[in-house]
Each structure stands twice: as C-alpha cells, then as structure tokens.
A = this chain, B = another copy of it.
Amino acid sequence: MKKPIRSDIAWSNRERIVVRGKDLPGEIIGHLNLGDMAFLELTGRAPDAKESKVFNAMVVTLVEHGVTPSALVARLTYLGAPEAMQAAVAAGLCGLGSVFVGSTEGVARMLSEHSSVDSILKQYKKVPGLGHPLHKPTDPRTVRLFEIARETGFYGKFSTLMEELGKQTKLVVNATGAIGALSCELGLDWKAVRGLGVMARAVGLVGHILEESRQPMAEEVWLRTEEEASRHLKP
C-alpha cells in the first residue's frame, strides 16, 4: 500500500558525497561556480561554458534591486531576531509572489504554452514581462541579457517572440521578460523559474542584513511609520 519515497538528487556514505551523479569534492567543489551549481540542481547536469555564461547572467540580474519591500522585510525581521538571520532571509523571500519576482514564472509558462503573438494577446489581458515604471523605452538589463544570448547562440524563438510582443504592445520587455524567455531557451521547466529569483534574492538579502547589522535603518523606518500611522488617533 505504501508508495515509494525516492529522490535522485544526492547521497552520501562515510567516504563519498555525490550530487546529481557527480562526486562533490572531486567534480563539483573547485569546478563549478554557484550559478553552475544551481544549473546542476535544476537540470541534473553541469552547464557547458555558454550555458554557464547565460545562466549566471540571468540569476546575477535578479540578486539586487536596492531597498525593495523584501529587503525591508529582512531588515525589520533582523531587528527583532538578530540571533536567527536565516529567519530574516526567509521572511524576505515570502513576498516574492505574483506582484514582483513571480512574473518570470508567468513569462516562462506563457512562452512554453504559446507560440505566437496573436495567441498570447488573445488570452492575456496583461502580458507578463512587459512594461516597467522606470526603465523605458528600454530596460538596460534586457538589452544586455539578449546581447549575451546572441553571443552564446541562445537567442532563439522564445526571445524573438518576447521582443515581438514588446513591439506590438509598445511596452518595454523588462528584465523578467528577458529572463523568462532565456529560461525557455535553456530548456528549464517553467515550474522552476520563479526559483531563479528566489535563490538570487536570497543572496541579495544576506547583503542587506549584513549592512543592517552595521548601518541600521529598520528601527527608524518602524518608528517613523508608527508615529505617522497612529497620529490621527491620539488625543
């Protein structure tokens, strides 16, 4: 009656530690960088040099966006529980949902389920990956990511379709649009694509927490907000 419990990711015994079929000390440590390791986790194999270049470019783009809501969340959490910085990173990740980082997933799913501009515009009222409040008429990250894609031979049908969508809607292809398209070019499962932003932002949040420990802002943000928010209620 029991169903099997099985994971193909890793195993270890006294002498060996093996991840995705590769010996951790012998074939991974010193051979793969952190982005390559993420690629190995998501695809089961190490990237070649071109894949490594494109994939690292994509995730590096998502690491840092300054004092975002998620950075503020991590800092405010660290204020209350400095002994548990992992919980501050975790709290910061909780908000990477439909509004912000989640749109990479939306793009990757859309491009893997549709193959024409018409089919997409018919179904989507709001096309994910298009438009940006600040970066227009072009998003410099997109320009750079597609440049790297062309250099490495990964600028293909998904990138073309994404840029065509931008032209027809007269909206900028933003960084999540480019990253969603390149995820498809690399053959990544769309279910893993939100994860690119999640892992990248975890890196950035550690940086914010370190800065918070040296040059805090969370308490001041809290006190100012509390004061203003309740001012109208006080006698």
Q: Which B residues are in CB contact (< 8 Å) with A217?
A: 5-7, 225, 229
Per-residue 0/1 for A166-202: is the Cβ within 8 Å of any B Cβ (1 yes, 0 no)? 0000000000000000000000010110111011101
Q: Given A29-B148, A140-B17, are A77 and B64 neighbors across the interface (CB < 8 Å)?
A: no
**Could you tell me which residues of chain A, from 180 to 235, have a CB within 8 Å of some CB in chain B?**
189, 191-192, 194-196, 198-200, 202-204, 206-211, 213, 215, 217-218, 220-222, 224-226, 228-230, 232-235
Q: Given A24-B141, A29-B145, A229-B67, are A95 and B99 neighbors across the interface (CB < 8 Å)?
A: no
Task: Tell yes or no: A32 within 8 A of B by CB.
Answer: yes
CB <8 Å contact, B220 and A2: yes
What's the minimum C-beta distance from A32 to chain B, rounded to whole angstroms? 6
Q: Give the A interface residue count (CB, 8 A).
A: 122
What's the minimum C-beta distance from A90 to chain B, rounded to whole angstroms? 4
CB <8 Å contact, B202 and A93: yes
Task: Tell yes or no: A101 within 8 A of B by CB.
Answer: yes
Q: Given A79-B99, A140-B25, A233-B18, are A10 and B87 neighbors across the interface (CB < 8 Å)?
A: no
Task: Tell yes or no: A121 within 8 A of B by CB.
Answer: no
Q: From A217, which residue of chain B is reached at the shortest CB distance? A: B5
CB <8 Å contact, B33 and A60: yes
In whole angstroms, what is the CA distance A19 to B233 when docked? 10
Task: Tell yes or no: A37 within 8 A of B by CB.
Answer: yes
Q: Which B residues are in CB contact (< 8 Å) with A213?
A: 189, 191
Q: Which B residues are in CB contact (< 8 Å) with A145?
A: 29
New A-B pairs, 11, CB < 8 Å, besides A7-B211, A29-B144, A80-B101: A9-B67, A19-B63, A24-B64, A24-B141, A67-B226, A69-B218, A72-B222, A81-B98, A85-B198, A86-B94, A199-B203
